[in-house]
Chains A and B, each alone.
Chain A
Amino acid sequence: MREELKMRRVTALAVALLLLAPGVTASHAATPSPAPTKNPYGASVPVDPPGPNDVVLTVTNHFKVIHFTLSTLKKLGTSQISIYEPFARVRQTFTVVSLAKIFKSANIPSSANLSTIALNDYIFNDTAQHFTDSLGDLAIARFGGPIPYDQGGPIRIIFPDKTAYSKNLSAWNWSLSEITVK
């Protein structure tokens, strides 16, 4: 009798676990971390992202040149920011290092005239003040993962919503490689 009762309890527990299992699975699937989107016009074989010690950004302040890797950039301090990405026209969450910190680390004054240069040699010139006034950030990751080259990676300049440069798309320099004080 006692054995029978024990069996019934074990069976009930198993049934309950079986019933709960899909719910647990479903609730887990409801909040997945967004997978990186694939660029429909990208090459079939994607470009490998830079390694943690590969130089991704070179900041030149006259005679002073600083090479930043993703690791050294992270050391400056990162934060998460969700913005409306104006080129893909969707909300995206980025891991960013504020440009103010980068300028500070390179001793770039707010009055300095800068050139931001991309891997494809696209250049945007402006003062450091304007970048920092619009709370400009350097995005180093998106949804927690590296930003693919064919989606503006590996690092890119972004601006929070409702700032002066949030609508000035020329300033959103993607695949950034250099910042140079002129």
Chain B
Amino acid sequence: MPESTTLDRSVMKFRVTIGQRVLAALVFLSFLALSFSIVTTNRSSIAESKSLTSAEAPAASIIFTQRETLVYTVRLAQWIDMQIPRRDVQIARALLAQRLSVINDDGKSVGQEAPSAYLQALYVLDSLIDQSPSGILTPVERTNLLKVINPEMETLIDQARLLVTSYQLAVDNQLTHSAKASRNGDFFTLVLLILFMTLAVSWLGWVARTSIQQYRRSRNLVIAESERLQILAAELAAANLVVVELESLNASKNEFISNISHELRTPLTSIIGYVDVLATTIDFGGNPQLEEIFEVLDRNATILLSLVQSLLALSLLDSPNKRDTFKKIDLLEVLRDAIFIMDAEIQKKNITVTFNYDENDCYQISGDAGLLSQATINLIANAIKFTAAGTTIEIFVGRKPGKSLRDHITVAIADHGIGIPEDEMSMLFERFYRASNAVEEHIPGTGLGLAIVAKVVDFHDAKLSIESKLGEGTTFTIEFLEYLSPVEELVAGRKYGLLSEAIASIEEQSPESLKDKLHEYGGALAFYEFPELGEKLLALSRSIPEGFTGENVELMNQRDLLIKDMKAALPSEDEGEIDG
């Protein structure tokens, strides 16, 4: 089973290696870096867009400035051509000045950005205009002015053109810078993206490969386990066949021993009978040798008969018995019969047998009368054998209340013999085993008596125990389950059912109605053979005041202790069986 549990875990649990965890961390970090880079790039793009947008405003101003400059030069030309008065030129110049002073989003005016040559040309023209007479020029004035004004006008127009060119250059530079910054940002983001993708794909690939490997390994393990199970199943089937064969052989052996024992017992009984007849009818005529021969013959025949009977009993116990032979047995009767049977031996050794039991009690169990008789005879015979002549054998029958529906009936047979060495106790019930001190003392025996006893005890689901002290004696104790009629079992069941019900009810009861419940179940339990518990319940009920709401902790603790006692009185899980 542990192997299969390990296999299940290995199949079900996905294991991630340290390397995969490290790689997963790298994937996560690269993802964070990529996200950060994307956010930063976007922010840069927004900033660049704003920057480019702000660059558009000067563009409008520059275009207007160029326009105003052209308007101004046109007015100048018209003035030189004597078409308009000087004031119109001055107004056009004033409007150009207004345009040059307009402050853009960058906080600067076009005038501040204008080339110095442009402004210089303007101021030269201003000077020429100021020095000229107001109104419309005369032809002479025109001729004089024309020579000096034309170059300045050309300079102004050229410089106005440069305004746009320089602005275009500035914007181009800004665009180039933006493109460069954007390209750098994009390149970095791309590198991070490639890194992230590479790491992620590597990680996924690694994990997938590991998963496939684990799956294959698990599948192989499952296949191997399956094959192993098939082999085990085959071995089990073979073993079952062997078991069946062995059981068959054992049954044959038992049958053989049973038959042989039967066949041997009949002539042996006859031989023993005739030996007895001869021993009592023949006059040995003072031939002690012949008398001894008869005694040896009688003793060995008796031993042989005992051995045959023991073998017969064991073969019967080994066979698949059925307990339908069980019936109600009075143990006192069985023991009295056994004592009676062994009476000759008891008398022979001048042994006193004390038989103790409660005359008012009834010791009934469910069992096989023959087997029980055999077991008790064996135990009493052993006690007689190992007890010194003139001493006492004590037989005790009693009742032990068990934690079950039924009581235990105990039979103890104690001798004051040689005792059993402690290290041999465990082997005492093996067939043909004899205690070393018994062999040394030349105490006869077949080594089958206690084996039969153990078998009989086991057959009755009883418990056999030994207490022994070398040189002081041995006590064999058998603990049987008491016999109960179906009606008695029903009553016992009801008894414990009521107890369980009382526990559950008192446990769940609210403090307000605890007094009544304790009174109710106290009376009932006292009636159903739990007088002590019943009395305790009634006493607690009496001590609880009317209108109790659980505020008295002491009373509630008493209730808990009582519930504990009630639970302790319930039968254990192994109800109906004897430990051991």
Same complex:
yes
Chain A interface (Cβ < 8 Å from any Cβ of B): 39-48, 87-89, 118-121, 148-152, 174-175
Of all chain A residues, the one with the shortest Cβ separation from B90 is A47
The answer to the question of B269 belonging to the interface, with a C-beta cut-off of 8 Å to chain A, is no
CB contacts (< 8 Å) of A148 on chain B: these are: 94
Known contacts A39-B98, A41-B101, A87-B102: does B91 contact A149 (CB below 8 Å)? yes
- Contact between A174 and B111, CB atoms less than 8 A apart: no
Contact B91 A89, beta carbon cutoff 8 Å: no
CB-contact partner of A88 in B95, B103, B123, B129, under 8 A: B103
B contacts, CB < 8 Å to A: 67-68, 71, 87, 90-98, 100-103, 109, 111, 119, 122-123, 126-127, 129-130
The answer to whether B71 and A121 have CB atoms under 8 Å apart is yes
What is the CB-to-nearest-CB distance from B122 to chain A, in angstroms, rounded to a whole number? 8
B95 and A150 within 8 A (CB): yes
- Taken together as a complex, chains A and B put the C-alpha atoms of A121 and B90 apart, in Å, by 15
Using A87-B102, A87-B103, A88-B101 as known contacts, say yes or no to A42 and B94 having CB atoms under 8 A apart: yes
**A37 CB to nearest chain B CB (Å):** 9
Known: A43-B126, A43-B130. A120 touches B101 (CB 8 A): no
Q: List 13 A-B contacts (CB under 8 A).
A: A40-B111, A41-B96, A41-B97, A42-B97, A43-B130, A44-B123, A44-B126, A47-B94, A87-B103, A88-B102, A119-B92, A120-B68, A120-B95
Q: Are A119 and B111 in contact, CB atoms less than 8 angstroms apart?
A: no
B98 touches A43 (CB 8 A): no
Contacts of B130 in A (CB 8 A): 43-45
Contact yes or no, B98 A149, CB < 8 A: yes
Q: Closest A-chain residue to B87, C-beta based?
A: A47
A41-B111 CB under 8 A given contacts A87-B103, A150-B98? yes
Q: Which of B67, B95, B111 contacts A175 (CB 8 A)?
A: B95
Main secondary structure of the interface of B (DSSP, over half): helix
Report the bound CA distance from A43 to B103 in whole Å.
19
* Contacting residues, chain B, for A149 (C-beta < 8 A): 90-91, 94-95, 98
**Residues in A neighbouring B100, C-beta threshold 8 A:** 39, 41
Given A87-B98, A120-B95, A175-B95, 10 additional A-B pairs, CB 8 A: A41-B96, A42-B97, A43-B93, A43-B130, A44-B123, A44-B130, A48-B87, A149-B94, A174-B95, A174-B98
Task: Give the complex CA separation of A47 and B129 in angstroms.
Answer: 12
Cβ–Cβ contact A150 & B97, under 8 A? yes
A119 touches B95 (CB 8 A): yes
A39 to B91, CA, bound (A): 14
B363 to chain A, nearest CB (A): 115
B362 to chain A minimum Cβ distance, whole angstroms, is 115
CB-CB under 8 A from B96, the residues of chain A are 41
Which residues of B are found within 8 Å of A44, using beta-carbon distances? 123, 126-127, 130
The answer to whether B98 touches A151 (Cβ under 8 A) is yes
- Interchain nearest-CB distance for B96 vs A (Å): 8
Taking CB atoms, residues of chain A closer than 8 Å to B87 are 47-48
Instruction: Say whether A152 contacts B97, CB under 8 Å.
Output: no
A110 to chain B, nearest CB (A): 29
Residues of A within 8 A of B119 (CB): 41
A41-B111, A41-B119, A88-B103 known; A152+B98 contact, CB < 8 A: yes
Interface centre among B68, B91, B122, B130 (most CB of A within 10 A): B91
Contact partner of A43 (CB less than 8 A), chosen from B71, B97, B101, is: B97
Residue of A nearest to B71 (CB): A120
